[in-house]
Amino acid sequence: MTTGDLVLDRVELRLGTRTLVGPLTLTVPPSRIVTVMGPSGSGKSSLLAFLCGTLDPAFAASGRVRLAGRDVTALPPERRGVGILFQDDLLFPHLSVAENLAFALPSAVRGRVARRAAVEAALTEAGLAGFADRDPATLSGGQRARVAVMRTLLADPRALLLDEPFSKLDGPLRARFRRFVFDHARRRGLPTLLVTHDPDDAAATDGPIVALQAAEHADGPPAGSGGAPPDDDGHSLSRFPQL
């Protein structure tokens, strides 16, 4: 799979008359990780939902999303090739570990043997060889998190979105898992967008940071709204180098 830039072009999210995000323009090149930071309520998760095509219809959105040169804005989520990881692993509780992974495996991988082999390979890569037929509920938090990563990657995405996926883990486990995710994303050349409110996460990316303001803040106009013309380059770009 060829990779390419993930481009957000004047993306703006509104809820009613309130502008929640944007307009935001940024480019995430392959193998790079861009962090979006902001307090809760600043629309971080909604931005990711918009990028993967699952934004609640209550929001109004404008702007374009391009991935590897293709405009994916109008595509349904299953055809965008955008993988997402949430802070919960969201392993399907009714499927085994292997079935969870096979669910993500494209149908182009044909035949029971080939599919099983792909699943086993992914498990081995995650240090979970032999876990194929386990009930996900019997795995530890860290193990489940790794299965969730492998599941996302098996779907062969062209970009990766991370919705605070480390916030449920503590201490050394958290750092280890973070490296695991970043390494896999870089190795596959995926443009990656990380949403977090933890500066440690952001620091670990070695990448640029975009700060979102709290749109619900009572005093002061929310970003991008009101009379001032929106900054053409997007949001608060204080620490955001041009890519």
Partner 1 sequence: MADPIRAVAAESLAGRAAPRPADPAASRRPRAGRLLAAVPVLTLVLFLAPIAVGLFGTWIPAFGYLPALGGTEAGLGPWRTLFESPSLPGAVQLTLLTGFLSTALALILSLGLCAAWHGSRMMAAARRALAPLLAVPHAALAIGLMFLLSGSGWLARGVAAGSGVLGMPVWERPPVFGMVQDPWGLALTFGLMLKETPFLMLMIVAASGQVRIERTLAVARTAGYGPVTAWVKTVLPQIYPQIRLPVYAVLAYSLSVVDMALILGPSTPPPLAPLVLRWFNDPDLTMRFVAAAGACLQLLIVAAGIAIWYGAERLIARVARPWLSGGHRGGSGRVARAATGGGMALALLAAAVSLAALAVWSLAYRWRYPDLVPSAWTLGTWDRNLPALAWPAWTTLGVGAAATAIALVLTIACLEYEQRAGVRPTTRALWLLYTPLLVPQIGFLFGMQVLLVVLRLDGTWPALVWSHLLFVLPYVFLALAEPWRALDERYVRTAACLGAPPWRVFWRITLPMLLRPVLIAAAIGFAVSVAQYLPTLFAGAGRLTTLTTEAVGLAGGADRRVIAVYAFAQMSLPLIGFAVALAVPALLFRHRRGMRA
In the complex, the residues that contact partner 1 under the rule CB under 8 A are: 14, 16, 49-50, 52-64, 73-74, 76-84, 86, 88, 90-94, 96, 103-104, 106, 135-138, 151-152, 155-157
CB of residue 211 vs partner 1: minimum separation in angstroms?
Answer: 24
Cis peptide bond prior to 208, omega within 30° of 0: no
Name the residue nearer to partner 1 (CB basis): 22 or 208.
22
Q: How many Å from the N-terminal Cα to the C-terminal Cα in the chain?
A: 23
Q: Which is nearer to partner 1, 9 or 198 (CB)?
A: 9
Residue 176 C-beta: closest distance to partner 1, Å: 23
**Nearer to partner 1 (CB atom), residue 74 or residue 117:** 74
203's enclosing H/E stretch is helix 199-205
Q: Closest approach of Cβ 10 to partner 1, in Å?
A: 11
Distinct helix (H) and strand (E) counts, the chain: 6, 9
Q: DSSP per residue over 21-41, as a string? A: EEEEEEEE-TT-EEEEE--TT
Nearer to partner 1, 93 or 111 (CB): 93
CB 192 within 8 A of CB 28: yes
Least gap, CB of 206 to partner 1 (angstroms): 25
